[in-house]
Structure 1
Amino acid sequence: MCFTNSVQQDTATHSKSPSLVTSQTTDDFHISILPGLPDDVAKYCLALVPRSNFPAMGGVCKRWRSFMQSKEFITVRKLAGLLEEWLYLLTMDGEGKGSYWEVLNCLGQRHCVLPPMPGPIKSGFAVAVLNGKLLVMAGYSMIDGTGSASADVYQYDSCLNRWSKLAYMNVARYDFACAEVNGMVYAVGGYGMDGESLSSAEVYNPEDDKWTLIESLRRPRWGCFACGFEGKLYVMGGRSSFTIGNSRFVDVYNPERHAWCEMKNGCVMVTAHAVLGKKLFCMEWKNQRKLAIFNPGDNTWKMVPVPVTGSSRIGFRFGTLDEKLLLFSLEADPGYHTLLYDPNASSGSEWQVSQIKPSGLFLCCVTIKA
């Protein structure tokens, strides 16, 4: 009742004096989240609301919307034991004319389809998850018959169900490596505006919505991928202008020292990769029937056979769910089933068949906890 009365009073004030609208908007961040409750209790109450009501909650006032967009909202939901894990799959339609993001729950049931991504259609872009939000970065697009690299960055907020544009990257690029480390997103290498190979690297800070150039790689690198372990950025695979063929070098960036170092125990031509816990799972182009598992603790690799299901020629893309690895087919083979690998299962029972399956041709996948 207090909340209803206060809203009615505000509405009356706005109608009598338009000059007060600006000051009232400015004061939105200084009023209580829920009148009569301490803010910490009010935030916990908002976190208990079912996820399906989040978009409506975001339209109530700026204070609610600001809280829902913050890292604190995810933290409170985690403390309340309400974090939900969702698969976001970029899928090509049956006719190959367009792509869309669909959201599946942990049972593989389709939850929704995201609003269309803003901007022109692109290839060679990168995706990352940051504070429960999906980031789609850069890429290569064709506009009026002319191709060019992009520096655009778009963010999808799963709570508010909407896209927004973030700060431009310093360097337009595509086919580059990207990963989140310690709450920051790194973009490394790739191809530039004129198709030249890049050694430049930059980092995104969500606190000030800004990309900052960092020390460049020792050599240009493209078609590579990145992941984060123990607060460091690892860049692997792809090709380099300083090597013949594919590069086995691993570039490691230490954010505390603001410097790169190099290892020589990488992998080549990786077609799929995913991080589970403290290990990296890869599949190389030359061997589509074995997982290469990297342990950064001792820089060692282990090979695990992949069971044959459907056609033995099918390649895979990876996803993760509930600390398990999902292997999605790259071909629409009728006899294919999504495979699930549980690294913590007892010997002999690591592999299972999953009912999770995209509605069209699978392109890429991320997991968001929110």
Structure 2
Amino acid sequence: MSESCNSRHFSWLMKSCFPNPNHDYHSSNTHQSITTTTTTDISSLPDDLLLECLSRVPSSTLPSLSFVCRRWSRLLLSPSFLHLRRHLHPLHHSLFALSSTTVHSGTLHFDDACCSWILHPFNPSLPLHSHAFANFQSFLSQARLSAIGPRIFIMGRNAMLRYDTWTRILVPRTPMLFCRKKFASAVVASKIYVAGGASRPPAVTVDEYDPETDTWRVVSHVPRIRYGCIGASVEGVFYVIGGLKIGDGTAGGREAHLYASSMDLYDVEARAWLRSRALPGGGCVVAACAAMGHVYVLANHAVELSFWRFDARRNGGGFGEWSRMKGPPLPGQVRVDSRVKFSCVGAEDKVVLVQVMGCIDDLLRRSGRSSRGFKQSLVLVYHTASGDWTRAPDLPEVIQRATCVDFES
């Protein structure tokens, strides 16, 4: 990719920013007349002015603009560009689903009138020589997803990839400091934070990843070592939610229960832990996400599911308050057991709940039920403003055992 920019790639908006080189500016007095002609090209614009221009172009043109030159590509993926886009409100939220069995991915654009899934093969186009990618499907099955703008980071036990939703290109990145499995991850201020998960030795730290420098570092130690936990972030706080106690192997039923229904709060800026919070009425957290200043939690109570909202607005006066919300309208065929998995994703003012089954044939055979009307991957949308649930298009059959994340573009 060229470092310089060519004017044939400019939109009318960009060209309008430059002086017309054919226009003469005259300054005259009684003694003389001076004519000055000024020419300017895009490479002479400072980054801040160029960002102001790029942040106003339509979203549909951003993928092609990223190919103009390295400088444009760098600016379009910078935190400053995302901040400007959010300030101007032209960002679009989409749901990205990645299959761990069929190596396919799909995108659901909520702003589209038709709101349908767009499928993409997820075959890596780069040579993955590391032993961590020897079984690519196994790597995907254990991975966690985090999105920063249009880039999605796929974190496995001992490897990491960056996927560009604009170019469909996979790039290896520096793996985590510890070989974690079933850990919590979330994005805070354009950096990724991970905690918990199983590893040998146990990972007792919170680690921070900087995508600009492709480096990891330890920022804190955890108050509890959780396995199978879920991550979320609101207003600079990293939430490590649910999971089971690991480490010394001495946890009794009471302590294990408290782990499964509680969450730890890490203040990223202060580098300090806030007081832990517990879900009212207990239960086991099976899915969680953040949306509109709140943390939404789906809990399993063995025979039923409950849906809760935690007020995470630290300056709103209600910080720490729990509210029970209207539960998801799951079909009667769905049983609440270990074979049914849920993925919860916050997408601006929506909470997207994806129900992911195990092997559908095995489930039907064990339950003795007919496959008629039985949905393997149901997608439900909770609207935070109205408190209502609506049905979104089901995950395509080719996307099985999906891991989901919301991304902005």
Class of the TM-score when normalised by the shorter of the 2 chains:
0.7 to 0.9
Find the counterpart in structure 2 of residue 135 from structure 1.
153
Matched, 1:84 2:92: yes
Percent identical pairs in the alignment equals 22
Find the counterpart in structure 2 of residue 227 from structure 1.
232
Contact 1:237 1:268 in 2 (8 A): no
Matched, 1:366 2:392: no
Cα distance per residue 1:119-177 (max 9 Å; x no partner): 333233221112442111123xxxxxxxxxx1x22212223332222223222211111
Matched, 1:270 2:270: no
SS in 2 for 1:98: coil
SS in 2 for 1:365: strand
Contact 2:117 2:395 in 1 (8 A): no
Contact 2:148 2:408 in 1 (8 A): no
Find the counterpart in structure 1 of residue 42 from structure 2.
34
Find the counterpart in structure 2 of residue 341 from structure 1.
382
Give the residue type in structure 1 aligned to 2:393: Q
The within-5 A match list for 1:276-315 is 276-285=291-300, 286=302, 288-296=304-312, 297-313=319-335, 315=340
Contact 2:178 2:203 in 1 (8 A): no
SS in 2 for 1:74: helix
Cα distance per residue 1:41-66 (max 9 Å; x no partner): 65455455555554443333222222
For 1:366 and 1:261, how far apart are their aligned partners in 2?
A: 26
Cα distance per residue 1:98-123 (max 9 Å; x no partner): 23221121243233416435633323
For 2:198 and 2:303, how far apart are their aligned partners in 1?
A: 27
Give the residue type in structure 1 aligned to 2:285: V
Number of residue pairs matched? 324
Provide closer, same or farther for how the CA distance between residues 287 and 200 of structure 1 changes in structure 2, counting only shifts above 3 A.
farther
Q: Which moved more, 1:36-45 or 1:265-274?
A: 36-45
- Runs (5+) with no aligned partner, structure 1: 7-31, 140-149
Matched, 1:57 2:65: yes
Provide closer, same or farther for how the CA distance between residues 179 and 79 of structure 1 changes in structure 2, counting only shifts above 3 A.
closer
For 1:183 and 1:48, how far apart are their aligned partners in 2?
A: 21
Q: Which moved more, 1:80-89 or 1:175-184?
A: 80-89
- Runs (5+) with no aligned partner, structure 2: 10-39, 313-318, 361-370
Provide closer, same or farther for how the CA distance between residues 362 and 50 of structure 1 changes in structure 2, counting only shifts above 3 A.
farther
Provide closer, same or farther for how the CA distance between residues 164 and 236 of structure 1 changes in structure 2, counting only shifts above 3 A.
same
Find the counterpart in structure 1 of residue 143 from structure 2.
125
Cα distance per residue 1:206-249 (max 9 Å; x no partner): 34322111221134221111222332222121111463234144
The within-5 A match list for 1:179-258 is 179-192=186-199, 194=200, 196-241=201-246, 243-244=251-252, 245-246=256-257, 247=259, 248-258=261-271
For 1:254 and 1:42, how far apart are their aligned partners in 2?
A: 34
Provide closer, same or farther for how the CA distance between residues 328 and 310 of structure 1 changes in structure 2, counting only shifts above 3 A.
farther
Provide closer, same or farther for how the CA distance between residues 34 and 213 of structure 1 changes in structure 2, counting only shifts above 3 A.
same
Find the counterpart in structure 1 of residue 108 from structure 2.
104
For 1:284 and 1:153, how far apart are their aligned partners in 2?
A: 30
Contact 2:290 2:345 in 1 (8 A): no
> 1:5 Cα shift?
9.3
RMSD of aligned residue pairs (Cα, Å) = 3.2
SS in 2 for 1:330: strand
Contact 2:163 2:169 in 1 (8 A): yes
Provide closer, same or farther for how the CA distance between residues 127 and 39 of structure 1 changes in structure 2, counting only shifts above 3 A.
closer
SS in 2 for 1:65: helix
SS in 1 for 2:182: coil
Query: TM-score, normalized by length of structure 1?
Result: 0.75
Contact 1:249 1:262 in 2 (8 A): no
Provide closer, same or farther for how the CA distance between residues 165 and 352 of structure 1 changes in structure 2, counting only shifts above 3 A.
same
Query: TM-score, normalized by length of structure 2?
Result: 0.68
For 2:86 and 2:277, how far apart are their aligned partners in 1?
A: 39
Give the residue type in structure 2 aligned to 1:154: L
